[in-house]
Amino acid sequence: MSLNTSLLKQQVFIDGTWLDADSGETIEVVNPATGEKIGSVPMCGRAETARAIAAADAALPGWKALTAEARAGHMHNLCDAIMDQIDDLAVILTTEMGKPLAEAKGEIALGVKYIRFLAEEGRRIYGDTIPSPWADRRILVTKEPVGVAGSITPWNFPNSMIARKLGAALAAGCTMVMKPAEFTPYSALVYGVMAEKSGLPKGVINIITGDAPAIGEEMCENPALRKITFTGSTRVGKLLAGNAGRNMKKISMELGGNAPFIVFDDADLDRAVEGAIASKFRNSGQTCVCANRIYVQAGIYDVFAEKLKTAMAEQLKVGNGLEKGVTQGPLINEAAVKKVAEHVQDALSKGGVLVTGGHPSNGPGTFFEPTLITGASKDMKVAREETFGPLAALFRFETEEEAIELANDTEFGLACYFYTKDLGRSFRMMEALQYGLVGVNEGVITTEVAPFGGFKDSGVGNEGSKYGLDDYLNVKYSCIGGL
Ligand code: ADP
């Protein structure tokens, strides 16, 4: 389980060539479990980004002209190359991001599923013929790739966040320029290696690391780039959407969440506890669909809290993700640890009761103990902001109406979850909750076959499923006259 350094690329990938930044400057990459330096990657700016866009633009006509079947073939070859080295890729992912090795492997396998599914969906990009209001004309609707797509992705799923975007873009006939998060560039750069190994034409994917605002600006302003797809914070998403909008680029935005997880008196409690553990503590709480506010109905509040405490003690093991049995890796950096500590302190100062955890673990590495707080209330930070860490805060509620009101009382609308055995209530809740993803008696619902996208400040557009391709396509209407 050592790092395969031949896959640890320290250069960016433009037009099929590995390059340094013009300035020669680099960014250091650190292992969050040990604090040790792994390596560095180029600190690129606008000039290199413009070159990457030009390469993607030059590759576009050839890629677009392939049959959907041929494009799918390339994409499957890319996936085969990834699967051939999934163990090495998982070690790279865990080393730079921290998540347990089994989860890293699961993430890469899911990324491959996205690419394979979308490759096949690309063969079903159907058009339309519309009954014409003119006797001598016919109306044809076809779909075309939007052109060069630029992606900016976060560190919490450094492989699969790219896979979802890459799969849709390539299947639609777009070429790409991808910018991964500065904390986790290696899981992105290996896509370049896999592109080479699988014979993907040069320039179809380009990967650039460096100064995020500069790269973002070039993507938003360069006329050859026609689409920006972003996953990350709502703050940066709004900035990019504004800039992209001014330049009339198509956008997809997967932004922050503040997921409510509601447990009713009539729920299967063991199932709800299992779902809460999975939803709250997966990736040490660092996913945008992680339960952030756990609302528990008064009749079962104490029992649920006790069961959750027991399950946390039994199931959550903190440590280096490369070690066997570890389920909770480190948080990504010191800032993340500070934010969780701040949410805990804030909750305790406003009447919350600490049941377990509550502290950063002693270094090295940026770890935080899985934490349970009861007596949470809506004036606490944890009620308003995404903690993005292993803090489970339990709020008490009395009625269904109250649960709906509390759950919707946020500017976010990505994922929500509820547990009940009542069918009528299930439908009422599904319809009342203002969220793009609803887990009914399930805590983890992501799959490549279903759409993933948020409402309100959680974003625009969808990834995965047949809907995921729409964001990479332009609709063209042709009128054939003189018949
Ligand atoms: P997170 O809180 O998940 O780190 P960010 O939104 O800060 O979310 O980061 C997500 C991605 O956005 C990363 O790749 C980061 O480098 C990039 N990013 C951060 N700031 C900007 C910016 N001003 N313009 C473009 N990309 C940015």
- Please indicate, yes or no, if residue 368 is contained in any of the structural domains: yes
The answer to whether residue 449 sits within a structural domain is no
User: DSSP class of residue 111?
Assistant: H
Q: How many CB atoms lie within 10 A of CB 131?
A: 6
- 470 shares its domain with 381: no
pLDDT of amino acid 445: 97
Which protein residue has the closest C-alpha to ligand 1 atom 2? Answer: 233
Answer whether residue 451 is part of any domain: no
Answer yes or no: is 452 within a domain: no
What are φ and ψ of residue 22, in 5° steps?
A: -55, -40
CATH number where 379 lies: 3.40.309.10
Task: Confirm whether 446 is domain-assigned.
Answer: no
Mark whether 470 and 401 lie in a shared domain.
Answer: no
- Segment 320-326 mean pLDDT: 97
Residue linked to tokens 């960014």: 27
**254 is an active site residue:** yes
Judgement on whether residues 202 and 268 belong to the same structural domain of the protein: no
pLDDT greater than 80 at residue 263: yes
Whether 195 contacts 55, CB under 8 Å:
no
> How many separate domains does the chain show?
2
Q: Is the pLDDT of residue 71 over 90?
A: yes
Could you tell me the pLDDT band of residue 362, with boundaries at 50, 70 and 90? confident
Whether residues 139 and 18 fall in one domain: yes
What residue owns the CA closest to ligand 1's atom 23? 213
> Which band of pLDDT confidence, cut at 50, 70 and 90, is reported for residue 49?
very high
Are residues 309 and 236 part of one domain? no
Residue 79 has pLDDT above 90, yes or no: yes
Name the more confident of 2 and 189.
189
285 in a structural domain:
yes
Q: Considering only the C-alpha atoms of the chain, give the largest distance between any 2 of them, rounded to a whole number of Å.
A: 79
Does 179 have pLDDT greater than 80?
Answer: yes
Do 275 and 228 reside in the same domain of the chain?
no
The Cα–Cα gap between 282 and 272 comes to 15
* 301 and 211 within one domain: no
% of the chain at pLDDT higher than 90: 99
Q: Answer whether residue 312 is part of any domain.
A: yes
Q: What is the pLDDT of residues 374-419, one digit of tens each?
A: 999 999 999 999 999 999 999 999 999 999 999 999 999 999 999 9
Same domain? For 144 and 69 the reply is yes
* Mutation pick for ligand 1 pocket among 27, 221, 236 (CB with most ligand atoms within 8 Å): 236
CATH of the domain at 170: 3.40.605.10
Q: How many angstroms does the Cα of residue 153 sit away from the middle of ligand 1?
A: 7
Q: Which of 103, 107, 254, 386 is catalytic?
A: 254
Pairing of strands 412-413, 391-397: unpaired
Which residues have any ligand 1 atom within 6 Å of their CB?
152-154, 179, 181-182, 212-213, 216, 232-233, 236, 239-240
Q: By C-alpha distance, which of 443, 444, 420 is closest to 432?
A: 420
Beta-carbon count within 10 A of 424 CB: 8
What is the mean predicted confidence (pLDDT) over 31-45? 98
How confident is the model over 343-353, as pLDDT tens digits? 999 999 999 99
Q: How far is the CA of 5 from the centre of ligand 1 (A)?
A: 27
Tokens encoding 400:
């269904």
**Looking at residue 471, what DSSP letter applies?**
G
Give ipTM to 2 decimals.
0.98
pLDDT at residue 13, rounded to an integer: 99
Tell me what the pLDDT averaged over the chain comes to. 98
Confidence of residue 361 (pLDDT cuts 50, 70, 90): confident
Counting from 1 in the atom list of ligand 1, the atom nearest the Cα of 179 is: 14
- Report the distance separating Cα 53 and Cα 314, nearest Å: 50
pLDDT in tens, 213-243: 999 999 999 999 999 999 999 999 999 999 9
CA 379 – CA 147 distance, rounded (Å)? 46
Same domain, 187 and 270: no
Same domain, 266 and 221: no
Q: Which two tokens stand for residue 127?
A: 């058009």
Range of the domain at 49: 12-255+458-477
Ligand 1 centroid–CA 233 distance in Å is 7
Give the pair of three-digit tokens for residue 392.
């489970």
Mean pLDDT of 197-213: 98
CB within 8 Å of 116: residues ≥ 6 apart: 75, 76, 79, 167
Q: If you average pLDDT over residues 129-135, what whole number do you get?
A: 98
Tokens 């099929």 correspond to 16
Residue 7 lies in a domain: no
pLDDT band at 187 (very low <50, low <70, confident <90, very high): very high
Are 91 and 231 in the same domain? Answer: yes
Same domain, 312 and 413: yes
| 3-class secondary structure, 125 | coil
